[in-house]
Amino acid sequence: MKIIAANEGTTPASGEKVLQIANDADIAELAQSGAFEGVTRIELSFPKFTDGRAYSQAVLLRRRYKFSGDLRATGDVLIDLLVHMQRSGFTSVVLAEGVNPDAAERQFARYAAFYQGDVLEPRPLFARDLAPNSDQALEAA
């Protein structure tokens, strides 16, 4: 995950099409209107760290609408949220003012694996462990 400090510029590169989506926007409506056509980056907003609607939007964008571009979290992005953001499909974040980017990087080293599946790896840990030998996977089921 790309971590961007609050004071770094986040202006789009030339030719990059960026779509900013409010956390109360209906992703299905946007998809039906063709709003994602040619978009290379979608920015989802966290107005407060306690408002998690952008997590649901990220999962929908990745799973249902197959968005494969950069999915960026903006707003009140704290270190505690980064691992869950990555598991929900975010590929970059702009940290909240005053959050140390070095401390944010260390957050990923704390959690090496997860039992549950997520957007990046939908299979749970036990299925990943048994996947190379399909006979064992069938017996376990």
Task: List the helix and strand counts (H, then E) for the chain.
Answer: 6, 5
* Same-domain check for residues 132 and 70: no
Q: Which of 32-46, 66-80, 82-96, 103-117 has the lowest mean pLDDT?
A: 103-117
**Whether the Cβ atoms of residue 24 and residue 51 lie closer than 8 Å to each other:** no
Q: How far is 81 from 75, CA to CA, in rounded Å? A: 12
* Same-domain check for residues 57 and 27: yes
State the residue for tokens 């779509």: 19
* Same-domain check for residues 67 and 84: yes
* Same-domain check for residues 41 and 66: yes
Q: What is the CATH number of the domain that holds 64?
A: 3.20.20.70
Per-residue model confidence (pLDDT) at position 134: 47
Long-range contacts, 7-16 (Cβ 8 Å, 24+): 7/97, 8/94, 10/72, 10/74, 10/94, 12/41, 16/40, 16/41
* Same-domain check for residues 103 and 123: no
* Same-domain check for residues 37 and 86: yes
* Same-domain check for residues 83 and 120: no
Task: Answer whether residue 113 shows pLDDT above 80.
Answer: no
Tell me the per-residue pLDDT of 56-91, one tens digit each, with 9 for 90 and over: 999 999 999 999 999 999 999 999 899 999 999 999
* Same-domain check for residues 98 and 62: yes
* Same-domain check for residues 54 and 116: no
* Same-domain check for residues 58 and 119: no
Question: What domain count does the chain have?
Answer: 2
Per-residue model confidence (pLDDT) at position 139: 52
Strand ranges (DSSP E) for the chain? 2-4, 18-21, 41-46, 70-75, 92-94
Nearest to 75 by CA among 94, 52, 50, 62: 94
* Same-domain check for residues 141 and 75: no
* Same-domain check for residues 106 and 117: no
Give the residue numbers spanning the domain of 118. Answer: 112-141
Per-residue model confidence (pLDDT) at position 37: 93
pLDDT band for position 130 (cuts 50, 70, 90)? low
